Amino acid sequence: MTPLLTGSATAHPHVWIDAKTELIFENGKMTGVRHIWTFDDMYSAFVTQGVGKNPDQPTPDELLPIAKSNMEALPEFDYFTVVQAGGQKAEFATPTEYSMAQTPQRLITLTFTLPLKSPLAFDKSFGFQVFDPSYFVAFTLEKESAIGVRGLAAGCRPKIVPPQALDADDRKKLDESAISGLPPGVDFGMKMAGHVAIVCP
């Protein structure tokens, strides 16, 4: 398994998350992200340890407090989510509709909707990422089928863009940024780590 959006050679994760994501648009503007994160078997066992009356099958009610504490801890990490378009990075409001459940394979799934503070106009520069910059968690979002696009024109579909090598111009910007201390531009993280774009007909 190759965590495409992080680059496996750079990771030393202890937790693996298979991410499924729905990108939600209304009237040509992005309004939110719906995440469904499935944890690996070892971390799932850790999460459910000591939870519930039947330790083999904790119920969503019994798991809800854990989902809640995750929602409280995630803002500090920007929900491991980056959304940007037109040179602007989206800011997120408090998550809604969060829940946690155990699959028949005894894997834990965390589901939540992440509304944008203000809608972000969609254009060709749109990019989406889910990753942990510290690489403690390895997110895999390997297949385009794991990404849904809701509310855009029919035929608009997600496209996974692998990490790109920086060209001379980019490198120059990066050097300048190292000297000036100013960020090199919001799309740099996207270029270096890879991202999800949306292609419309």
Residues near another protein, by CB under 8 A: 1, 7-17, 39-43, 45-51, 55, 66, 69-70, 73-74, 76-77, 106, 132-138
Considering the complex, state which of residue 17 and residue 30 has its C-beta at the smaller distance from another protein.
Answer: 17
Q: How far is the CB of 151 from another protein (least distance, A)?
A: 29
- Whether residue 11 contacts residue 21, with contact meaning beta carbons closer than 8 Å, is answered with no
Q: How far is the CB of 24 from another protein (least distance, A)?
A: 23
Residue 53 vs residues 49, 68, 135: alpha-carbon distances, Å: 11, 19, 34
Q: Among residues 107, 102, 18, which one has the least CA distance to residue 64?
A: 102
- Residue 173 CB, nearest approach to another protein (Å): 19
Q: Which is nearer to another protein, 15 or 146 (CB)?
A: 15
Minimum distance from CB of 193 to another protein (Å)? Answer: 9
Residue 6, number of CB atoms within 10 A of its CB: 24
